[in-house]
Structure 1
Amino acid sequence: MDLGIRFFLFHTLQVLTGTKIRYWRNAIDSSLFKQWLHNLQSEIEILADGTLALRQVLIQGVDMFGKRIGFLKFKADIYKPVPGIVFARGPAVTVLILLESDGETYAVLTEQARVPTGRIILELPTGMLDDDKGDFIGTGVEEETGIKFKLEDMVDLTAFLDSSTGCRFFPSPASIGMDNLNA
């Protein structure tokens, strides 16, 4: 299926999807996909200087979490060839939980099976933001750790980032499947 979407001021983006993709309309209407398009077009991002151009997007997979998009996989066709497969999962948080006992400070880690690496990895607890407004209620982190959170006890560490970065942090912007976890 081919669907034209307005992109930039005067350019139409071609969006393709296989006939078996059930939620393709949810995918392109989602805040997740729209945010990705917005990010491409912002002043300092991939398409800003005009040397690259987005020609089409192929929706390859959509996983729904209830009524919302959980995971979205699509391939971006850029005029100048660069790796362009995208696995968009939406905003998420990592929570650094510090516990003090007998004068020692400990960080809480969770064991996670990470299929792309073929390993069980110790990592900081994480969770996806619970709605499109960016609210963090902490359900996912609470499920992983058994610890109930009070929002007033939390500190947003991204507030300490240099404002020129947009106060954003991308811990793994490429691929988790790369075997760079041997340390």
Structure 2
Amino acid sequence: MSTFTAFNVPVTLPQGLSQELVLKFHPFQSWITTLQNSLALQTENKSHPFHEDPYVLRSVTVQAYDLFGKRIGFLKLTSDVSNGAGESLPGAIFLRGPSVAMLVMLIPDDAPDEMDERHVLLTVQPRIAAGSLEFVELPAGMVDEAGNFAGTAAKEIWEELGLEIPSKELIALSDLAAGISSGGPESEEAVLHDGNLPRGVFPSPGACDEYIPIYAHERRVPRAQLGEWTGRLTGLRDEGERITLKLVRLQDVWKECARDGKTLAALALWEGLRREGRLPKKEKV
């Protein structure tokens, strides 16, 4: 084991893991920076519940890691976050970085009522962590180190759905929602409450850093084409992807994906933004 100092905190590493690799792992940088920003709010905000005896990040211990080639893919670590009274906060964390999810809706071009005949493209694939070989969910994918969320979403839509959609045509639901909550993401109220957390859905904030910005796209297609989507096999076989597509009416998606948190979050964001008239107006063709 070895120890070095990063972000003014001692970081202990297991044998075989170098300081250089850890510092190049963007999820580690992002997590520790965001946490320290949140900890700083304790002293800056007199109404903060921990203002009188603020918590401090005192150390980080990396317990395990997985490599993707020559770079870190996942980190498992523990952090010592405690106050002057010696009270500690739970600090076992799995770092994997952000993902993106895409709510892609298809509407028959002759549909008189868009809401009644709106369909959503879902993927059915093995998810070994969930113990399932047929997990139904929205298309999703991990974000690369460059952090290009919209670009990653467009790439995943092409790989998993076979649809070529320019990233500029995607609607960033998470960004739109952040812009209207707590007075906006840059407002004083928002900063005091969340320390400018990333804009996305956190599926398991008690143990994992992953957050998922959610995008949406809709398009009209010939009615005869709708039936071609269900059952189509997609995915990158050389990366172990075995994906089957499923087309489901919008009103039934919550039932089909009741186990998938990102799907339920996408539906809630889209419906909330639609109800408040916050979705971008579609150009008339």
1:35 and 1:69 map into 2 onto residues whose CA distance is 14
Q: Equivalent residues in 2 for 1:122-137 (5 A)? A: 122-135=136-149, 136-137=151-152
* Native 8 Å contact 2:101 2:138 kept in 1: yes
Instruction: Please report how far the alpha carbon of residue 14 of structure 1 lies from its aligned counterpart in structure 2 after TM superposition.
Output: 1.7
Q: State the percentage of identical aligned residues.
A: 29
Instruction: Please report how far the alpha carbon of residue 175 of structure 1 lies from its aligned counterpart in structure 2 after TM superposition.
Output: 5.0
* Native 8 Å contact 1:24 1:59 kept in 2: no
Higher Cα radius of gyration:
2
Q: TM-score, normalised by structure 1?
A: 0.76
Q: CA RMSD in A?
A: 3.0
SS at match of 2:30: helix
Q: Which residue of 2 aligns with 1:110?
A: 123
* Native 8 Å contact 2:26 2:145 kept in 1: no
**Are residue 2 (structure 1) and residue 2 (structure 2) matched?**
yes
Q: TM-score, normalised by structure 2?
A: 0.52
1:109 and 1:87 map into 2 onto residues whose CA distance is 27
1:42-100 Cα deviation digits (max 9, x unpaired): 1xx25632622222212123333344433222221222332212112222211111111
Q: Which residue of 2 aligns with 1:94?
A: 101
Q: Which residue of 2 aligns with 1:38?
A: 33
Distance 1:108 1:57, change over 3 A: same
**Are residue 57 (structure 1) and residue 60 (structure 2) matched?**
yes
Q: Equivalent residues in 2 for 1:101-180 (5 A)? A: 101=108, 103=111, 104-119=117-132, 120-135=134-149, 136-137=151-152, 138-160=154-176, 161=178, 162=181, 163=185, 164=190, 166=196, 168-172=199-203, 173-175=205-207
* Native 8 Å contact 1:31 1:132 kept in 2: no
Give ranges in structure 2 of 5+ residues lacking alignment: 43-52, 112-116, 209-257, 262-285
Distance 1:24 1:144, change over 3 A: farther
Give ranges in structure 1 of 5+ residues lacking alignment: none
Instruction: Please report how far the alpha carbon of residue 6 of structure 1 lies from its aligned counterpart in structure 2 after TM superposition.
Output: 4.2
Match of 1:76 among 74, 79, 99: 79
2:2 and 2:9 map into 1 onto residues whose CA distance is 10
SS at match of 2:94: strand
2:119 and 2:206 map into 1 onto residues whose CA distance is 30
Counterpart AA for 1:105: R
Equivalent residue pairs, number: 173
2:167 and 2:25 map into 1 onto residues whose CA distance is 27
**Structure of higher RCO (CA pairs closer than 8 Å, 6+ residues apart):** 2
Counterpart AA for 2:135: I
Distance 1:182 1:130, change over 3 A: closer
Which segment is superposed worse, 28-37 or 115-124?
115-124
Distance 1:62 1:149, change over 3 A: farther
